[in-house]
Structures are given as C-alpha cells and as structure tokens.
Amino acid sequence: MSYFIQVVVDGLSNGAIYAAIALAIVLVYRATGLINFAQGGMAVTATFVAYALTRVGVPVLLALVVAVVFGFLLGALLERGVMRHFEGGDPDTAVVATIALLVVLSGLSAYFFGYEPHPFPSLFPNRTIEVLGVFVSLRSIGTITVLLVVMIALQLLFRSTKLGLAMRAVADNPRSSALSGLPVSRLLMIGWGLAAALGAIAGVLVAPQLFISPGMLDFVLVYALASAILGGLDSPIGAVVAAAFIGVVENLAGAYLDFIGDDLKIAVPFIAVIVILVVRPQGLFGRKVTVRV
Amino acid sequence: MATTTAPRSTTGTASSATARWKGIAAVGVLAVALVVAPLVSSPYINYQLSSIAVFAVAILGLNIVMGYTGQVSLGQSAFLGLGAYIAAYGILHGWPGPLTLLLCAVVPAVVGMLVALAAARLRGLALAMITLALPIVGVPLARRFDEFTGGSQGQVVSWLRAPESIGLANDQWRYYVVVLIAVVAFVLARNLVRGRIGRSFAIVKENEAVALSMGVSPYRTKVLAFTIASLLGGVSGFMYLAIVQYTSPETLVFATSINLVAAMVIGGSASIVGTVLGAVYYVLVPVLAGQVNSSRTALISGAVLLAVLFLLPAGLVSLPRRLARLRSSRGRPPQPPAHPTTSDEAAQPASAPPAATTDQHS
Amino acid sequence: MSLLELEDVTASYGHAQVLHGISFSLSENGATGLLGANGAGKTTTLRAISGTVRTTGRILFEGRDISGLGPDRTAHLGIAHVPEGRGTLGQLSVRENLLVGAYQRKDRKQIATDVDYVLDLFPNLQERVRSNAAALSGGEQQMLAVGRAFMAKPRVILLDEASLGLAPSTARRVYDAIVRLRREAQVSMVVVEQNANLAFSVVDDATVLETGRVALHGSRDELMGMDAVRRAYLGG
C-alpha cells in the first residue's frame, strides 16, 4: 500500500511541473485566445536570468523576483513588438509566430549559456521527509504549495476581477471588446506579461530538478499542453487537476503494468487524454460551447 | 483569412490565353530543369533536392488537412515515420518495391482514417491535442516494438541502387524515383483541390454550418482530408527511406511535426506552389543557417522564420503579389486623407438637392 | 446644437471607397434612421462614427471632431456601437457580457442597478443570466448586445440591423424594448435597419443612402408618406 502511495506522490510531483507551465498556457489562452508555443521559451529565458543572478551570489528568492519582473517585461515586449503584428490575421500564422519565438528564445539562451544543463539552486531545502511510510521531498511540497497558490490567484483573477473579465473578453472577441471601450492592446500586453512572469516562477521551481538548459521545458511543454487542453483550456483548476492526473497515471502505468515499463509510460496518459477528449470534447472542466448556426 | 483562391485571370479571354501559354511554358521549363538538375549537380546537392521532394509531399498532406480544410494537425511526423518504418520492414523482408510503396500509402491512410473517425467531431484545440499525441505516443512505441522497428537503434537499409544498365549514380537514381513520386502526388493533389472535393474542403474550412446546409458533411469531409494527409505522410516516409536509407524513432518526433507546420505556413497555406516553397524552406534554411554559423543554427533559423512571417504573413507564395503592390504604391500613394478625391466632389451635388427639398429638422 | 454631426464623410476599406461624402445630424435625445439597400453604406457609416474604419471629412460629437479616434476612445466619449452580427462574447456569461459593457464605469452600485434594469427590459435574459452567450438564441443574443451597449451609459447608441436573422415576432420584441430604452434612458440613437417598419417605430427622422451617398432625408412622417420609400422599404 505504501508503495502505491509513493508512486502516486511521485506522480503528483511530476504533475506539479506540468501544471506550472500548463497554468501559463491557460493564462495566455485566456488573454489572447492563442496557443502559445513560446511559453516554454519565455519561461526558460527568464529562468536563465535568475540563474545568472544566483551565479553571482544573489539569493534564490531575490533572483526569482527579478526573473518574474524580467519575465513580465519580456512577455509584454514580445507581444508589443512581435505578436501585435499578427493579431487579427490568420490564427495559424500567429501560432507559427509563437513557434518562431520559441526557436529564437532557445537559440538566445544557448548563445549565452550553451546547450548543456547546469545545476540550479533550489528555493526549498533539498531534504526528504517521511510521512506514514511515504517519502516526500520538501522540494515537491514547496513546488506544489506555490503552484496551488498561483492557481487560486489565477482563478480569482479571472473570475472575480475586472482585469480578468476584460482579458477574457478580449480573448473572446477583441474587435467587439474595443466597442465597449476596453483597451485591447494594453490588455494583450498584460496577458503576455503575466504569462511570462508565471513562466518564470514555473521555471525557477522546476529548474533544480530538471537542471537548467535551453531545452529544459521542451518535453514539459508537451505534457503542459495536454494538461491545459484536457483541463478545458480556460480553467486554471482544470489544468492543475489534469496535470496531476497525467503525472499520476503515467507513474502508475510505469510502476504496475509490466509490459509498459519506463519506455512506454508516456503513451498511457496521452492515450487516456485521447479517449477522454473523444468522449468529452470540451475537456474535463471546460464549459461546453454551443456553436451558433 | 486565406481562403482558396479562384483562378485570378478574369480580365478577358485573350489575356487568359496568354496566361495559359505562359503557364504551359513554365511547366515545360520546370520539367526540363527537374530532369537535368541531378545530371549536373553533386551528390550532396542531389540529396538536398531529393529531401525537398520528400518533405514537399509531407507538407502537401499537411496543407490538405490544415491549409485547405482548416483542421489543425500537429501529428504529420507520425505518418512520415510510420511510412518509413513500413518501407524498412518491407525492404528487409524482401517485398517488391511497388507493393511496399502501396502499403506505405494504404496503412498510414487507414491509421489516419481511424484516428479521424474518432477525432473529426472535435474542433480546434481538442483536435490539435489528439494529433499532437500521435508522435508523442509513436516515439516510445517505435522504441518498444524493436522486432519491427529496430528499437532506438533504428533500421538501416540498403536499397534502391541504380540499375547497372542505366548508368546513373545512386543519388541520381534515387532523385528520379522520389521526384517522380512527388510529381505524381502533386498532380493528383492539385486536381483534387481544384475539383468538387476541394470545394467541399473550402466550404468546411469557411463555415461548417453553411457546409451542412449545402449538403456537405463536415465530418466526412474532415475524415477524408485527414485520410489523404496521412496517406501522403506515409508516402513521404517511403521517399524518406529511399534517400536517407535509415529510420529511427527520431524520424517521427513531435518537433518535426511542428517544423512541418511552420514550413507549410511559411510556404503558403492552401497553395500548391506554396507547399513546394515551404519544403524548400524546410530543407534549406537549417542547412544555410548551419553554414553561416553551425553553433547558432537554431537562432538563425528562428530569426529567418520570424522575418518571413513579418514580411510575408501569407507565405512565400505571396511574394510576387507583395512586390507588385509595393511597386504600385511607390508610384502613387494609396491613401488621400488630406484632399478629397474626385468621386467625393461628384458625390456632393448629387446628394445635396434631395436633402434640401425635404424639411430641415432642427 | 446637434449631438452628432457628420459632414461630408468618406470611408474606404483598403482601396475600395464605400462612402462618398455622407452628411447628417442627430439631435440631443433624438433618434435617426439610416435606410438603404444592401451595400448602400449604412454599416460603414456606423463604423465611421465608432472609429473602426478609415475616414475623411468631419465627425462632430458634442461639437468635437472625433474622426480618427479608435473604437475604445469613442466608446469612452459615450458612443456605444451594437455591431452587425451582435458581437456578443460567446465564452462569457450573460451577466459578464453586461459587465464588460460597463467596463469604463466606476459607479459599482449603479452598475448593479443597471444590470437589473437590462434584465427587466429583456426578461428572456433574466432566465439565462448564468449561461454562456454562445448558448443563447439569436434573439437573446441581440437583446444581450443592446443591453451591453446600454451598460456603458452612452450618450448615443449605434444600432446595426438589430432584426437581422430574427423571426418577425422576436424582432418586434427587440424593437419594443429599444423604444422603451429610448424613452426611459434618455439615450440618442442612430438606427440602421433593413426593415423600415421597425426603424420607424423608433426614429424621428431618417436618411436614405444609395451607394455611399445621401439620396434622401426627411422626417418619419414625410418619408412614410412617399410612395417611393413605401415601395422600397415598407413592403407596399
């Protein structure tokens, strides 16, 4: 039994990593209506800023704060300088533009820091505690806690603030929102800025475990996308639950199904996601959209 | 929104006849160039040219489902990989080439159709998710079922050597094989998208409700588009194996799908010529970026991608139109905000009298 | 002084000029109609006023030239545009759509009162207040679009084809509410409408457009008395 719980707990701490990026994806989707492939790139770039600061002796917490501010400015700048150009055009072109940003940002990180992974200091003590026969690292607990706080903050932002409402309105229909006097371009900038700031938090949280490199979040991005879409894309809670689900299912499949093992375990959550989406296209927590005729 | 472009020459029969002759001449020149190119080029150039043909077919499939039918697909690399593995399996088991090619088309088409039957009811991002899962699930499957795939090592084959009697080098022979397949695929696809099926693709892309009202089933249309895309993906896998002589789980990674999507948009969505340009971009930009600075390949490729998107959001295929517009706008400024145009002055007297005859309300 | 005055306004989409010098005016608390066939430039005239199309000429709002201002600025000045196709925010609930309409306002208490007023004006919306706008029927979406415009507490509402695609009885109900809104909320209106019967139930006077030019202007009674207008727009 305790082995089972251990497997679940390990799955949850993987899920926390996926959830961190998934939340940022949900945020951009909420604010701009776009799937943003550059999300991982922005997060890694901001995390490298924190890395550079810790290398010269800045405490991790302060480095995190600077990275978050840098992330916000980076996101806002990319929206203003690059993405604005593609707004109102073909959405496929805009999505490919985010792919281009991803490539450029990882290229930039590699230019300054190279492709090899570097160790990254943890915000939380690198200790493991035993609770009822299950070993949990303080790092996982810390990551999950921060994540839950961020999730609740996002949920509140979207559900109970005027800014959140305005961001959702702009994502839904920018032209019509402008007719109600919403400052569309400023809201889009804020949306990208917040998403990149959130990416910075996620990056700093997961870098100690993954080691920091330009490609650090490449595989996480895929899991995060799956979590965000499975969670219904506009629901922060949905994204976190879906990420936890994916992390746990993957770990359980790897641990208990012999023919699956470590190689194939990644396939299990994705097949589960396919089945769930076919049965429930709006995702676990998404609101059903009836399409007008 | 880029929709399918109707034939543009509607100005008169005389000019459309010359346009037709020009078109035939261009096709003739192109055909000669395609035949002569490998005879005068180095094996390295021939390899790159053959690669363009391979990825042109993969992007063609993607363009049919995404560009023409408007359905996101992030899984094209899975069909490319599947085709390559089937080809490798067939060669290692001594199947005849044409049979292998047929299976490389049919099996991925069936797989794509089965996926689409389940997924084509979904739209937008849910659909993107399912297609994204194909390479994600495919890579570990390819590693795992090593009796078919050679596992992580992949499969090395040695086939498609030039027949002695012809007197061609292997690279030239393989070039002719893949270019021939590509030309056939493009001619068939061109007829498809210009015909009745192509129109139903365009209607489904434009508005599914309208499609239904016109008796076009969006579901069946999407399944068909996905099936054709998967078929072409599989064929491109056969071609890939023909020139690379090796395949591994790396062939079907998700990043390849993403790059194919980028290349499709760069070339030109819903455009046959754009598809070829996209393939040229896909093959050449990393090569050229690597020659400029091998350690900065990603940075340069990304910057080029961004620059093309900025300058030509409708893809490379829109370059001539764009240039024409630049030239014409340099001749005369298009916006006259300061002084009214002549049509305004004409409008003034026409509108004034009727308004004057009725009561002026105050 | 008129609240809104257009002087020789032209507008174009890219190279295609759609308006060739439109002039008309709207008095304080007035309601004026824009009539005309498809493509006459009615919608473009509204878009010129709200700043969503490029124009020349002068557009005076409360005596100030607002031409060239973007839609968020004109909204701020008190112009609420109910666009063609309604522009409801499909993923947001009915209540949220109304709150987006009130984005520029700070008077929280009055906003809540005004939401209740809109729900009273359109009882259909009352029952659907928590559903997504995309799930509403066409008529309900139109009601929501009008309600959202009202929530901005505008000086003038630009109403574009509020009857489009609605069953006659539904269109009638929407217009009854618009008439009530005009009476009770003291808001001026520019009404674009294909169905002149509906338009004449709201407006005091109207301008008839033909291919981007003013063809005719008159009071409601004058226009209704003209055979040509009756034949073209009133069905008989």
Number of domains in chain B: 1
CA distance C76 to chain A (A): 6
The residue-averaged pLDDT of C42-54 equals 93
Most confident among A146-160, A217-231, B77-91 (mean pLDDT): B77-91
Q: Is residue B2 part of a domain?
A: no
pLDDT in the model for residue C225: 85
Say whether pLDDT at C14 is over 80: no
pLDDT, position C236: 52
Please write down the long-range contacts of B91-94, taking CB distance under 8 Å and 24 or more positions apart.
Answer: B91/B157, B91/B159, B91/B241, B92/B155, B92/B157
Average pLDDT on C1-29 reads: 90
User: Residue A160: closest CA among chain C residues belongs to which residue?
Assistant: C96
Strand C213-219 vs strand C188-192: parallel, antiparallel, or unpaired? unpaired
Q: Is C54 on the interface with B (CB under 8 A)?
A: yes
Tell me the mean pLDDT in the region A65-76.
Answer: 96
Domain assignment present for residue B284? The answer is: no
Per-residue pLDDT tens over the stretch C182-207: 999 889 999 999 888 899 999 999 99
Q: What average pLDDT score do residues A267-291 get?
A: 73
- How many angstroms separate the CA of residue A255 from the nearest CA in chain B? 16
- Would residue B362 count as lying in a domain? no
Phi and psi torsions of A162, nearest 5°: -65, -40
Contact (CB<8Å) A281/B126: yes
In chain A, residues with a C-beta closer than 8 Å to the C-beta of B313 are 85-86, 89-90, 93
Using alpha carbons only, what angle is made at residue C229 by residues C228 and C233, rounded to the nearest 5 degrees? Answer: 125
Of B334, B335, B355, the CB nearest to C217: B355
Residue C59, helix vs strand vs coil = strand
Q: Nearest-CA residue of chain B relative to C27?
A: B362
Chain C contact set for B347 (CB, 8 A): 20-21, 212-213
pLDDT of A181 > 70? The answer is yes
Q: Would you state the structure tokens that stand for residue A164, as one six-digit string?
A: 């959140």
A279 touching chain B per CB within 8 A: no
pLDDT at C233: 72
Residues of chain C with C-beta less than 8 angstroms from the C-beta of A173: 87, 89-90
Residue C205 has, within 13 A of its CA and on its CB side, a CA count of 17
Mean confidence (pLDDT) of chain C: 91
Q: Mean pLDDT lowest for which of A189-193, C115-119, C230-234? A: C230-234
Query: Residues with Cβ < 8 Å from C49, sequence gap 6 or more?
Result: C4, C6, C59, C61, C66, C74, C79, C81, C158, C190
- Residue B237 is part of which domain span? 39-253
Token pair, residue B338, equals 């300061």
Residue of chain A whose alpha carbon sits nearest to that of B136 = A267
Q: How many CB atoms neighbour CB C71 within 10 A? A: 23
Query: What pairs with residue C219 in β-bridges?
Result: C205
Please name the residue that has the structure tokens 């109707």.
B6
Which one has a higher pLDDT value, A103 or C1? Answer: A103
Residue B225 contacts residue B70 (beta carbons within 8 Å): no
Q: Do B309 and A93 touch (CB under 8 A)?
A: yes
Minimal Cβ distance to A278: which of B118, B137, B306: B118
Tokens of B359: 């009561």
Which residue, B303, B269, B273, is CA-closest to B62? Answer: B269
Residue C69 binned pLDDT confidence (cut-offs 50, 70, 90): very high
For position A104, what pLDDT does the model report? Answer: 92
Q: Which of residues 119-158 of A touch B (CB under 8 A)?
A: none
Q: How confident is the model at residue A66 (pLDDT cuts 50, 70, 90)?
A: very high
Task: Find the CB nearest A184 among C50, C72, C134.
Answer: C72
Task: Give the ipTM.
Answer: 0.88
Do residues B55 and B279 make contact, with C-beta atoms less than 8 angstroms apart? yes
Instruction: List the Cα angle C50/C52/C56 in 5-degree steps.
Output: 85
- Bridge partners (DSSP) of residue B243 are none
Distance, CA of B63 to chain centre? 4
Tell me which H or E stretch contains C4.
strand C2-13
Q: Tell me which amino acid residue B208 is.
A: E
Give the residue ranges of chain B where pLDDT is below 70: 1-14, 329-362
**What pLDDT does residue A286 have?**
67
pLDDT at B3: 45
DSSP state letters, B270-310: T-HHHHHHHHHHHHHHHHHHHHH-GGGHHHHHHHHHHHHHH
Query: What's the pTM?
Result: 0.81
Q: Which CATH architecture has domain C2-233?
A: 3-Layer(aba) Sandwich (3.40)
Interface of A with B in 206-235 (CB under 8 A): 218, 222, 225-226, 229-230, 233
Sort out which chain C residues have CB atoms less than 8 A from A180's CB and list them.
75, 80, 100-101, 103-104, 148, 152
Cα A44 to its chain centre, rounded Å, is 11
DSSP, res B360: P
Environment class of residue A263 by beta-carbon count within 10 Å: exposed (0-12), middle (13-18) or buried (19+)?
middle
Mutation site for C-interface testing, chosen from B344, B359, B362 by largest number of C Cβ within 10 Å: B344
Dihedral, A195, A197, A199, A204 alpha carbons, nearest 10? -170
Residue B219 is predicted with a pLDDT of: 93
Q: Kindly state whether A116 is in contact with chain B, defined as any CB-CB distance less than 8 angstroms.
A: no
State residue A287's pLDDT score.
59
Residues of chain A with Cβ-Cβ distance to B130 below 8 Å are 274, 277-278
